[in-house]
A and B are shown apart, each in its own frame.
Chain A
Amino acid sequence: MRGQNQDTRAAGHRGGPAGALVRPVEKAKDFKGSFRRLLGYLRPHKIKLILVLIFAIASTSFNIAAPKISSKAMNKLQDGYMARAMLKNLSEAQNQIIKEINQQLKQAQTNPTLRQSLPADPEKIKAVQEFLQLPLLNTVEDAEQKAVICEKILDFSKKLSSGEQKINLTQEQIDGALRAIRETNGQYDFHYIGNIALILLGMYLISFVFSLIMGWVMSGVAQKTVRDLRREVDHKLNKLPLKYFDAHSYGDILSRVTNDVDTIAATLQQSLTQIITSVVSIIGYIIMMLTISPILTLIVLTTLPLYILTTRFIAKKSQKYFAAQQRELGELSGHVEEMYTGHNIVKAFGHEKNAIEKFEAINNRLNEAGWKAQFVSGILFPLMRFISNLGYVIISIVGGIWITKDILGLGDIIAFIQYSRSFDMPIVQTANIANIIQSTIACAERVFEILDEEEEIPDRPDAKIIKSPKGEVRFEHVDFRYKEDVPLIEDMNLEVKPGETIAIVGPTGAGKTTLVNLLMRFYEINGGKISIDGIDIRDLKRSELRKMFGMVLQDTWLFKGTIKDNIAYGKEGATMEEIIRAAKAAHADHFIRTLPDGYDTIINEEGSNISQGQKQLLTIARAILADPKILILDEATSSVDTRTELLIQRAMANLMKGRTSFVIAHRLSTIRDAEVILVINKGRIIEKGNHKELLAKGGFYADLYNSQFTGADQLEMEDSEAV
């Protein structure tokens, strides 16, 4: 099941900034221990990681500092703007007032009645005189002088209280503007701004280079770590006893080595750098905001609990719905899989309607759970944005008021807004990564479980090799059991001379492969001794022991590759002549040559481009090429057509010549000709002897033999459904 979900996971698990937040999290059993162990795999890359850390801090710091620096340019621009505006306004005002005064004076000269209306107040007259003596603003060059004149004009206009208010600014702003005039002389200081722009350009470029280097250094770390992990698991799989593989489904092991490892890779790849940059960013943003304004920072920080509360609330809800959706989805997939694989049965028994009814019921439940999950997770982002906007508005208001009081510059506010708006991103990311790491550790645990499995008993250091084996096999007082309390083989004795054939007979699923498992030492016996040519198989090197055996099982295992390579699997470095000779002996040469690419035909993944019978012939060829001293054969060829069956039979006969053979026998001719027949039922050897002896005994074997071709209906039969 886990294997099929790869697609949805790829799109869902890592989708969006809050992807992992809203989905159910898999909890690790021992988070700390497994986390530390996973970190251990990163140890070889310690230097690189430190390098990444340094570059991450550097690049992020530059990114963080940039708005603050660009705010300086903005402030400068504002200063210039304000100064220019003030100079322009005051200059106009000066001209206007001078014009007015002159006009009034002229009128007073021509019209004596008006003269009386002129201010008689000597103070005022003095002020007017002084004002008239002021040099014109637009003719003055010196910044200080300009500022002084401005101040005076402002004073004067204040004194002429009757005059309409031309300038609508707070005292702080006026002071700021005057300061700006002194500093900038009413010019935009593009030299200063240009310098800042150059500094910024440099910082952006450096930051670009740094984060690029960081990406490059990091590109190998995650992948190499996972490569080592995969390698380790693969080596481990070689050392695990067969017992392990019998007890665990392929799907489960496969999923651990592929899906789980892939998840670890993705996490290391993305989250490692993300968590570094996120944390650095958060700290950096706070510092920068503090340098601009501690009080505004406080306002931003008060929105933090809001984030946390909303996230927690929504995550809790949505995880519940997502779990429900996953459940329904699983049920739906199960139903679909069942109905589709059994399509002809559903049709044959006219069950389409029932199938659809059940489908619709699950489908509707899925819809119900699905839209809720989608909705709840969908509102997280708007809510976050609202909270962020809330902060934005408050900062705009407070900041705006502060600018009017000249506490902060416009550039500062803009920089601050940039910081506060980027602030929520790394916070969500960190929360998100925390969840991703949780489930990644759970994945890592599953992989570690494989690594911690008990291994096969290693070969003894003084393990022997049989140079030229004769093929004599002996079982002495052998005891064996798969499960502690269920004895299967007790005190079994068997002596096989070289070249003899031992037929193993019994109902399906009776455990005939047990013997194979013991002979090849796939399992360890619990007592007694199995020896080949007089040497205990436990004293032999496993690889040498197994080389003495050839195996042709019903489960024809071939790998994706050419036919040639598949046959050559039996012997390393086999020549083409040897391969063809083996194929001929196995009666496979003919059919191989009818294939489009002959020996180079590639057997596909499902092995569906050649028939079951042909596969069997190839496995026989493989065994012939390996030229073993002892054979293990399974005659079961149920899905093979009759003609191929004939070929297989001949091929097997060829193979058995001069070798000790253990045959899981289905053909009576094989059984009758065998030197020893072992009758197995429920995993136990219940009878032993040759055909005649066993028939005479009138036991299970006799029953079995008689039943095959008699239509008899009155048979005493023991159930055959064990193991």
Chain B
Amino acid sequence: MLRIFKFLKPFRLMVLGVLVLVFLQTLGDLYLPTLMSDIINQGVMRGDTARIMQVGGRMLLVAGGGAICAILASFLSAKMALGLGTILRSKVFRKVESFSLHEFDKFGTATLITRTTNDINQIQMVTVMITRMMVSAPMMAIGGIIMALREDKKLTLVLAVAMPILAFVIGLIASRVIPLFRQVQGKIDKINLILREKLTGIRVIRAFSREEYETKRFDEANVDLTNHFIKVNKIMAFMMPSIMLIMNLTSLSILWFGGIRVSNEGMDLGALTAFSQYAMQIMFSMLMMSMMFIMIPRAQAAALRINEVLETVPEIKDPEGPKDSFCGKGYLEFKNVTFSYQGAEKPVLKNISFLARPGETTAIIGSIGSGKSTLVNLIMRFYDVDSGSIVIDGVDISEMSLETLRAKIGFVPQKAMLFSGSIADNIRFGNEQASEEEIKHAAEVAQASEFISKKNEGYDYQITQGGTNLSGGQKQRLSIARALARKAEIYIFDDSFSALDFKTDARLRAALKREMKDATVILVAQRVGTVMDADRIIVLDEGQIVGMGTHRELLDSCSVYREIVASQLSEEEIA
């Protein structure tokens, strides 16, 4: 939490301003009862009306001043808290954008989103609360105690008893309720889970006629949640009445003991009234502070999560003095590359060596977990290799800038990911300089122009977030068009045809062949049909190359390949 607050530096003056203003406002609030007691002692008891008016006027000024201070403080604290939020968000977002996939995977998308949005909102809100309440509550409590002491020392003994009791009762109830609340949250999650399962599996449930069972499951969770909630409520029911009782008993004790003090001429009536008001102020600020104790741990957790992001140092950075002179265009070579994910026992890729040349298609096939996608990610330098090297056009990729490297590559990911915006925008994502002609051409080659032309808006058709208004096949084709627009030296297709039907797949491959005469193509696939006519097929098994060659060669030499083929094609098709 404190580390987060160091980002408040640019707002130093504002923080100071808030503190001063809140202090003044608290002073004002504390001064009012004293003035009230003045009215009683100097005015009422002496029948001095002029004095009453005078002090009353002063009270009005103090109240007005307090209000102005509070408004100004609210202004500054709003500016400051939101400013802090804005800076934090910016810092976190920039940081995440600089992450390589390794750091990104370590966190996971969902939590990074929460950290950038909800967690920072939480901090922002707590900052507002802190400046509004937490600063004033302790000031109020301490000030109240000082003033109370000034009015009468002996009577503060009442407070010395009442305050710990109040703190104890609140603490007792909170300590019993908070864990229960956590349990209730768990039960709510459980109900949500059952419902979600019910909705996603509605066909299966109905197919197996298990509605009754599901209803029972839901009902059990429902009743369980209800009972737990009632339990929490029953404890919580103690909270307000107890606090009220303690407060009331405190003021009663003040009246009684204060009365005795007055009868002993230890204090006067004005002081007694002022005292009882201070007592209430102290108790209220204690309530406020106890609220902070609930809020701060939450914010603390958020702050920790944010700090974790900010303190992560991206592992892959541009080299100092990147090389930018290349020999050739599109020569990609793996030299004895070994790579393992952090914390993994075994490497995902072991001693991988091959050379891909312009005008050739290199296909990579293998079962799940064989390391196909990892290999592709290494070319993009999403991860750094453990040993060996990847060389493009004569330069080790770790010696060129990320921008130069990635500009050479047109990447089509496994999962077609589009962004909200028009179709044209999405294709232009691959190449900002692309002309309209080039965009249309890319779409055509990617077999996308046909469905685009069927949309009323054509290339201006707006894609929703996550591309939910397009079919899987359409998304995949646009993602291919995006890569094509890049006019890259090397194209990588990471199992990018899976959502296409056989026919479109075939037509696309034919079109790509024509389009990519001079480019290097790396093709990761599951379907044998897709890789059959590649110039070179690399068969991966458990991270190692177990076979390399053309379809025919591999059929003869590689048993893993034969097995894969056998599972997909019938005898005559293999031939």
Q: B100, B207, B211, B474 — which one has the most chain A CB atoms within 10 A of its CB?
A: B207
- CB neighbours of A551 from chain B (8 A): 203-204, 207
Are the C-beta atoms of B195 and A258 separated by less than 8 Å?
yes
**Given A224-B226, A356-B97, A713-B511, 9 other A-B residues pairs in contact with their CB atoms under 8 A:** A11-B125, A170-B47, A208-B245, A343-B104, A382-B70, A392-B32, A414-B276, A544-B209, A553-B203
Interchain CA distance A336-B509 in the complex, whole Å:
34
23 interchain pairs, CB-CB under 8 A:
A7-B122, A190-B260, A207-B241, A208-B242, A211-B244, A216-B237, A218-B233, A223-B229, A336-B117, A340-B112, A343-B99, A345-B413, A348-B411, A379-B71, A385-B66, A397-B52, A403-B40, A542-B209, A642-B563, A668-B570, A709-B569, A715-B503, A720-B504
- CB neighbours of A220 from chain B (8 A): 230, 233
Interchain CA distance A207-B242 in the complex, whole Å:
10
Given contacts A374-B78, A393-B63, A397-B52, contact A363 B222 (CB under 8 A): no
Interchain CA distance A715-B90 in the complex, whole Å:
51
Give the contact stretch, choosing among A136-144, A193-201, A691-699.
A193-201
Any A CB within 8 A of the CB of B157? no
For chain B, the bracket of interface size reads 35 or more
- CB neighbours of A8 from chain B (8 A): 118, 121, 125
Are the C-beta atoms of A711 and B368 separated by less than 8 Å?
no
- CB neighbours of B193 from chain A (8 A): 560, 605
Any B CB within 8 A of the CB of A78? yes
- Beta-carbon nearest neighbor of B295 in chain A: A11
Q: A81, A334, A719 — which one has the most chain B CB atoms within 10 A of its CB?
A: A81
Are the C-beta atoms of B192 and A258 separated by less than 8 Å?
yes
- CB neighbours of A401 from chain B (8 A): 49, 52
Interchain CA distance A383-B69 in the complex, whole Å:
11
Interchain CA distance A383-B242 in the complex, whole Å:
30
Interchain CA distance A712-B124 in the complex, whole Å:
61
Q: Which of A382-401 contact B (CB under 8 A)?
A: 382-383, 385-386, 389-390, 392-394, 396-397, 400-401
Interchain CA distance A371-B252 in the complex, whole Å:
43
Chain A interface main SS type: helix
Are the C-beta atoms of B96 and A720 separated by less than 8 Å?
no
Any B CB within 8 A of the CB of A295? no
Interchain CA distance A168-B569 in the complex, whole Å:
116
Interchain CA distance A520-B238 in the complex, whole Å:
54
Q: Which of A204-255 contact B (CB under 8 A)?
A: 204-205, 207-208, 211-212, 214-216, 218-220, 222-224, 226-227, 230-231, 234-235, 237-238, 242, 245, 250, 253-254
Are the C-beta atoms of A188 and B200 separated by less than 8 Å?
no
- CB neighbours of B420 from chain A (8 A): 334, 338
- CB neighbours of B122 from chain A (8 A): 7, 11
- Beta-carbon nearest neighbor of B299 in chain A: A11
Any B CB within 8 A of the CB of A559? yes
B197's contact among A190, A336, A352, A559, by CB below 8 Å, is which? A559
Are the C-beta atoms of B116 and A336 separated by less than 8 Å?
yes
The 8 A CB mask of B479-506 against A (1 = contact, 0 = none) is 0001000100000000000111111101
Any A CB within 8 A of the CB of B292? no
Are the C-beta atoms of B222 and A340 separated by less than 8 Å?
no
Any A CB within 8 A of the CB of B165? no
Any A CB within 8 A of the CB of B312? no
Give the contact stretch, choosing among A469-477, A528-536, A700-708.
A700-708
Interchain CA distance A76-B299 in the complex, whole Å:
51
A704's contact among B39, B52, B188, B502, by CB below 8 Å, is which? B502
Interchain CA distance A520-B203 in the complex, whole Å:
9
Give the contact stretch, choosing among B81-89, B140-148, B384-392.
B81-89
Are the C-beta atoms of A367 and B85 separated by less than 8 Å?
yes
- CB neighbours of B461 from chain A (8 A): none
- Beta-carbon nearest neighbor of A85 in chain B: B45
Chain B interface main SS type: helix
- Beta-carbon nearest neighbor of B273 in chain A: A414
Are the C-beta atoms of A333 and B113 separated by less than 8 Å?
yes
- Beta-carbon nearest neighbor of A5 in chain B: B118
Give the contact stretch, choosing among B2-10, B53-61, B351-359, B516-524.
B53-61
Any A CB within 8 A of the CB of B106? no
Any B CB within 8 A of the CB of A600? no
Q: A168, A336, A366 — which one has the most chain B CB atoms within 10 A of its CB?
A: A336
Chain A contributes a number of interface residues (CB within 8 A of B) equal to 167
The 8 A CB mask of A159-170 against B (1 = contact, 0 = none) is 000000000111
Q: How far is the CB of B26 from chain A (nearest CB, A)?
A: 12
Interchain CA distance A211-B407 in the complex, whole Å:
71
Any B CB within 8 A of the CB of A427? no
- CB neighbours of B71 from chain A (8 A): 379, 382-383
Q: How far is the CB of A449 from chain B (nearest CB, A)?
A: 16
- CB neighbours of A80 from chain B (8 A): 262-263
Any A CB within 8 A of the CB of B435? no
Are the C-beta atoms of B509 and A711 separated by less than 8 Å?
yes
Q: How far is the CB of A689 from chain B (nearest CB, A)?
A: 20
Interchain CA distance A194-B471 in the complex, whole Å:
83
Are the C-beta atoms of B245 and A81 separated by less than 8 Å?
no
Are the C-beta atoms of B262 and A81 separated by less than 8 Å?
yes
B240's contact among A211, A254, A381, A649, by CB below 8 Å, is which? A211
Given contacts A78-B269, A343-B101, A710-B506, contact A258 B59 (CB under 8 A): no
Given contacts A234-B215, A334-B465, A404-B43, contact A546 B567 (CB under 8 A): no
Are the C-beta atoms of A234 and B44 separated by less than 8 Å?
no
B223's contact among A194, A227, A336, A403, by CB below 8 Å, is which? A227
B486's contact among A226, A349, A507, by CB below 8 Å, is which? A349
Are the C-beta atoms of A410 and B273 separated by less than 8 Å?
yes
- CB neighbours of B207 from chain A (8 A): 520, 546, 549-551
The 8 A CB mask of B210-229 against A (1 = contact, 0 = none) is 11011100110011011001
Are the C-beta atoms of A227 and B56 separated by less than 8 Å?
no
- CB neighbours of B559 from chain A (8 A): none
Any B CB within 8 A of the CB of A332? yes
